[in-house]
Structure 1
Amino acid sequence: MMPVKRSGLLRLASYNVQKCIGLDLRRLPRRIVGVLDGLQADIVVLQEADKRLPPRPAALPPPVLAAAGWRVADFGPKGSLGWHGNAIIWREGAPLDLIEMDQIPLPGLEPRGAVRAEFDTMQGRVRVIGLHLGLITRDRYEQIRSLAAYCARLPDIPTVWAGDFNEWSRLPALDSHAPRMTFLPPLPSYPAPRPMGPLDRIALGGGLRASGHGVWGGRPARFASDHLPVWADLVLPALLQHEQGIVDAGLHP
């Protein structure tokens, strides 16, 4: 069972959906939606959300998501759910307003990219970056540095990076390349039936904190894709300050 989300927190998840092809080799978008529903997330970052060959049509069709109560950040191109397979969706009715988004080219031998969406929440603005890094170690490190440089040019606000980092090591191999970000302890998410590799990760910056994080391995996640989704309950700085104020008031009436 997924933990119940505490009021005021923002639950974010990341899920490599492998073009909606499960371990039974069937492409079943509605099965992926079933996994999304189980996460009880406000925002989900997706990888491999589009088919591989041009014009890269959506593997997870927007009408299917809309029918299930999800909204989609329109990164284009037309017919695709995301950009370079990266997409960001959020739950209809969640206290979120999409105010800004961008495509982020990444260096390397393989065609890779990231996407950025900024939301207004009840506790202020939050920046969400979804990514899918390369298979080559040198490229991954260069992509992390490029992304860190990109973020350094933006206003310093609560920021989360989430996606398939393609990093097998449980050592802090990525941290030194993005010193302003704090990576949550990696947990095995791949392959889905018997997870061994912590490929899917979440990193926080700009004062953002997590009250909990984990891997969701419930049905049908163990056979809907080759990855399991990861999640984190995020605490924005404004909520931390509010709660600290309540504590201080209790200690010093």
Structure 2
Amino acid sequence: MITVASYNIRKAIGTDRRRRPDRILEVLAEIDADIILLQEADRRFGARQAALPFHLIAEHSGYAPVDFAVRAGGLGWHGNAILVRTGTEVLAQRVLHLPALEPRGAVMADVRIGRRAVRIVGMHLDLSGLWRRRQAHAIIAAVDHEAESLPTVMAGDLNEWTAARGCLRDFGSHFRFAETGPSFHARRPVARLDRIMVNEKFAVRECGVHASSISRTASDHLPIWAKLDFA
């Protein structure tokens, strides 16, 4: 069994409007997932430096970022990043260019968990429903075009409010969703903007939203998690 989490950290700015990356690391320690997909992990303007400084990750967590080699000082690609437990073997990694009016992207990595290779895809989709659907199609196509089919988990902030239409319906025709629950807004969660989904090679055993005193303050989103078995 592996545990996967997804977390929009809003550049480490909490609901109190203070930038506190140390709180994000505390939340990650509470979740204790094997794989963590982050959104808004880099600052939006300027050199887009990491909102979670590398030295803090190295010194105060058991994780290491997957290196997408996009820009010096950045944690991911258009704010999307993947953390794995220190020592995890990364077999392959790449960024996905998505159709968009504003800068959007996704990230993909193959990692070895125990003796099994696992594919991870992280994303943060557009505010526009039309562009979300185009981005969903691009991500699905990218996964389908991979030479080897692997147990795959995809997660992120999909910015979709209903599962009955839009990009969730598109993803749902290829993947199964973990019923994690509402994760936004952190102080009073009413919307399931954040999602975890898997292909047929994974089974979801448990899932939920991580609501603690720290997570309600650390970002405007609550992290979501799922425990997965290989099917």
CA RMSD, 1 decimal: 1.3
Q: What are structure 1's unaligned runs of at least 5 residues?
A: 1-8, 238-253
Could you tell me how far apart the structure 2 residues matched to 1:101 and 1:120 are? 12
Tell me the CA shift for residue 135 of structure 1: 0.2
Q: Which moved more, 1:132-141 or 1:184-193?
A: 184-193
Deviations 1:53-73 (A, max 9, x none): 131011111110111221111
Which residue of 75, 80, 84 maps to 1:86?
80
Percent identity of paired positions between Structure 1 and Structure 2: 41
Distance in 1 between residues matched to 2:165 and 2:202, nearest whole Å: 19
Q: Is 1:218 the counterpart of 2:212 in the alignment? A: yes
User: Offset of 1:175 from its aligned partner?
Assistant: 4.3
User: Does the Cα contact within 8 Å between 1:105 and 1:114 map onto a contact in 2?
Assistant: yes
Report the CA distance between 1:172 and its aligned residue.
Answer: 5.7
1:41 matches 2:33: yes
Is the contact between residue 164 and residue 201 of structure 1 (CA under 8 Å) also seen in structure 2?
yes
> 4+ residue runs of structure 1 moved beyond 4 angstroms?
none
Deviation at 1:180, TM superposition (A): 2.1
**CA distance in 1: counterparts of 2:62 and 2:38, whole angstroms:** 16
Aligned to 1:163: 156
- 1:65 has 2:20 as partner: no
1:184 aligns with 2:178: yes
Alpha-carbon distance, 1:186 to partner: 5.2
TM-score, normalized by length of structure 1?
0.86
| Partner SS for 1:66 | helix
Q: What amino acid does structure 1 have at the position aligned with 2:191?
A: G
Change (3 A) 1:186 1:137: farther
- More displaced 10-residue stretch of structure 1: 78-87 or 61-70: 61-70
2:116 maps to which residue? 124
Q: TM-score, normalised by structure 2?
A: 0.94
CA contact (8 A) 2:110 2:119 kept: yes
Q: Deviations over 1:151-172 (max 9, x none)?
A: 1101211101100000111436
CA distance in structure 1 between the aligned counterparts of 2:2 and 2:127, rounded to whole angstroms: 30
The partner residue of 1:150 within 138, 142, 147 is 142
* Contact 1:157-1:206 within 8 A present in 2 as well: no
- Identify which range, 203-212 or 124-133, moves more after superposition: 203-212
Report how many aligned residue pairs link the two structures: 227
Q: State the alpha-carbon separation in 1 of the partners of residues 169 and 16 from structure 2.
A: 39
Residue 71 of structure 2 is matched in structure 1 by 77
Q: Distance in 1 between matches of 2:186 and 2:168?
A: 25
Aligned position for 2:131: 139
Query: Are the counterparts in 2 of residues 123 and 236 from structure 1 also a CA contact under 8 Å?
Result: no
* Contact 1:35–1:219, Cα closer than 8 Å, also in 2: no
Bigger radius of gyration, 1 or 2?
Answer: 1
